[in-house]
Amino acid sequence: MSTVDERRTAPPVSPAARRSPAVLVLAVLWTGAAAVIGLWWADAGPVVAAAGWLTGAGRIAGLLAGYACAVLVGLMARVPLLEVRIGSDRAARWHAMAGRYTLCLLVTHVVLILAGYAAQDRAPLWHEAVTVVLDYPEMLKATAGTVILFAVGVTSVRAVRRRTSHEFWYYVHLLTYAAVFLAFGHQVALGDEFNGAPAATAAWYALYLTAAALVVWYRILVPVRLNLRHRMRVESVHREAPGVHSVVVRGRRLDELGARPGQFFRWRFLGDGMGRTSTPYSLSAAPRTDRLRITVKALGDHSAAAGLLRPGTRVWAEGPYGSLTADRAAGSRSLLIAAGVGITPLRALFETLPGEVALLYRAHSAQDLALGGELEAIARWRGAQVRYVLNGPRGERPRITAESLRAAFPGLAGHDVYLCGPHGFAQDVYAALREAGVPDRRIHHESFEL
């Protein structure tokens, strides 16, 4: 597939950056948490002795944990406001944070409620725990849901996730829905705030039904419509570098997807055992009316199999997602910094970003420069600068520092910087950029390592 036409003129000057609604969304979420505390306050009676204090604090923690579960599900729904306007990486960080809050609140709720009940009944803590689980309504299901949530939390820890396959993590993570469903019943059955309070009960059901509706709509119905309408299949596969392949996907009226350079889709290839999981891969070329292209590096079972895909394989895609687009640019000069397969979204941006653009590409060796020929062709027709940072002949890794960046790219502080690469690389370069005087608001980065 031809991806660069050297006769074209450079893109026009960048438009003004679009404001993110992140602050508004966070304000809504925290307002909801305050309303939940208000729900407890409206029902709270006189607090008597230690048992009353423990039980009251446990009820607050339980209500907040229930609210956090609904938020957790909503953040998993892939709502365009979050995935595109705010950014998939930020939504993923919010999801991870909500998960940590949920687990901490659950532990607090369980410990304080059991301690309060045990103090009230003058019974051993273990005896109270057995009684609550076996005798209280909906508690067996709630206990199962709690165990599942902790299993999801353990597999989401970065050290554990790095040692497990994406497929295993993906399926365990999907159990969050089952955990929330199992735990819901005991909230309305045992929560004093809902007994004899139809308005509070209706609001709680509305909260959970809204989260469920978002999941059904955006994770099931919208993808089904997309794939029935566009009918995508693999057209061809091309080797770009050792362990790196480009996959060209053909479909109908793909321009109606509204995909933009810098964005990604979640892909399932319905053949050769690759259809079981949905994996995010960025577009590595500007989207066309009948073709999309991704470039994949073999980093796991799914990505390794991408190079073996056969033409004609059915493709199931969800998206587009991500906010690493031209909308983020605040000025007319941009610097793209990539490492490894992080070049894929930046290659598409390098071709299409308005204004003056330069590219810095970090790789182990010249052989590992995926899409290098295309980058050189784009640089020629745009009159753009491309610089490579490669290991030395003995494997020495050159550092990218504030001084080297300022020397290579004069006026760096006035650039918008798009950054994509492994987590450690991105952290180091971000620190160097800040030291070089680039404002935080001009450093644009999406990462999916939590």
CATH number where 242 lies: 2.40.30.10
Q: Quick one: 66 and 158 in the same domain? A: yes
| Residue whose tokens read 């979050």 | 82
In a domain, 396, yes or no: yes
Mean residue pLDDT across the chain: 87
Name the token pair of 423.
């987590």
CA distance 109 to 127: 17
Q: 334, 363, 326, 343: which is closest to 285 by C-alpha?
A: 343
Q: Domain end: 298, 321, 344, which one?
A: 321
Residues sharing a CB contact under 8 Å with residue 407, sequence separation 6 or more, in sequence order? none
Q: Quick one: 427 and 354 in the same domain? A: yes
CATH number where 343 lies: 3.40.50.80
Residues sharing a CB contact under 8 Å with residue 210, sequence separation 6 or more, in sequence order? 70, 74
In a domain, 9, yes or no: no
Q: Among 2-11, 93-102, 250-259, name the one with the lowest average pLDDT.
A: 2-11
Q: Quick one: 391 and 297 in the same domain? A: no
Q: Quick one: 217 and 114 in the same domain? A: yes
Residue type, 361: Y
CA distance 284 to 347: 6
In a domain, 70, yes or no: yes
Q: Quick one: 169 and 293 in the same domain? A: no
In a domain, 239, yes or no: yes
In a domain, 294, yes or no: yes
| Residue whose tokens read 């829905």 | 177
What pLDDT score does 14 carry? 47
- Between helix 88-121 and helix 125-135 the angle, nearest 10°, is 110
| Residue whose tokens read 């000069």 | 333
| Residue whose tokens read 């790196």 | 244
pLDDT digits (tens, 9 = 90+) for 132-189: 999 998 999 999 999 999 999 888 887 787 777 777 888 888 899 999 999 999 998 8
Cα atoms in the 13 Å half-sphere on the side-chain side of 413: 6
CA distance 227 to 214: 19
In a domain, 279, yes or no: yes
257-275 burial, b for 16+ CB within 10 Å, e for fewer?
bebbbbbbbbbbbebeebe
Count of domains for the chain? 3
What pLDDT score does 448 carry? 55
Q: Quick one: 210 and 65 in the same domain? A: yes
* More confident position, 274 or 293: 293
CA distance 76 to 211: 9
CA distance 404 to 399: 9
pTM of the model: 0.83
Q: Quick one: 349 and 315 in the same domain? A: no
Give the torsion through C-alpha atoms of 291, 295, 298, 302, to 10 deg.
-30
pLDDT digits (tens, 9 = 90+) for 429-447: 999 999 999 999 899 987 6
CA distance 117 to 49: 12
Note whether 265 and 281 are within 8 A (CB): yes
Q: Quick one: 64 and 210 in the same domain? A: yes
In sequence order, the β-bridge partners of residue 317 are 267
CA distance 209 to 204: 9
Provide the pairing of β-strand 333-339 with 416-420.
parallel
Q: Quick one: 104 and 249 in the same domain? A: no
Give the CA distances from residue 138 to residues 133, 188, 189, in Å, rounded to whole numbers and listed in that order.
9, 10, 7
Residues sharing a CB contact under 8 Å with residue 86, sequence separation 6 or more, in sequence order? 20, 21, 22, 25, 323
Confidence of residue 19 (pLDDT cuts 50, 70, 90): low
pLDDT digits (tens, 9 = 90+) for 182-235: 999 999 888 888 888 889 999 999 999 999 999 999 999 999 999 999 999 999
Provide the pairing of β-strand 264-269 with 315-321.
antiparallel
Q: Domain end: 321, 353, 368, which one?
A: 321
Sign for the CA dihedral angle at 91, 93, 95, 101 comes to negative
In a domain, 5, yes or no: no
Note whether 38 and 63 are within 8 A (CB): no
Residues sharing a CB contact under 8 Å with residue 404, sequence separation 6 or more, in sequence order? none
pLDDT digits (tens, 9 = 90+) for 223-276: 999 999 999 999 999 998 888 899 999 999 999 999 999 999 999 998 766 667
Instruction: Verify cis geometry, omega within 30 degrees of 0, for the bond prior to 320.
Output: yes
Provide the pairing of β-strand 356-363 with 291-297.
unpaired
Q: Length of the chain in residues, anyone? A: 450
Domain extent, residue 371, equals 326-445
In the predicted model, is pLDDT for residue 18 greater than 70? no
Q: Domain end: 226, 242, 261, which one?
A: 226
| Residue whose tokens read 């893109």 | 11
In the predicted model, is pLDDT for residue 377 greater than 60? yes
In a domain, 13, yes or no: no
Number of CB atoms found within 10 A of residue 207's CB: 20
What pLDDT score does 364 carry? 87
Q: Quick one: 296 and 161 in the same domain? A: no
What pLDDT score does 450 carry? 44
Residue type, 62: G
Q: Quick one: 338 and 382 in the same domain? A: yes
Q: Quick one: 306 and 342 in the same domain? A: no
Name the token pair of 416.
């918008």
Task: Calculate mean pLDDT across residues 43-49.
Answer: 72
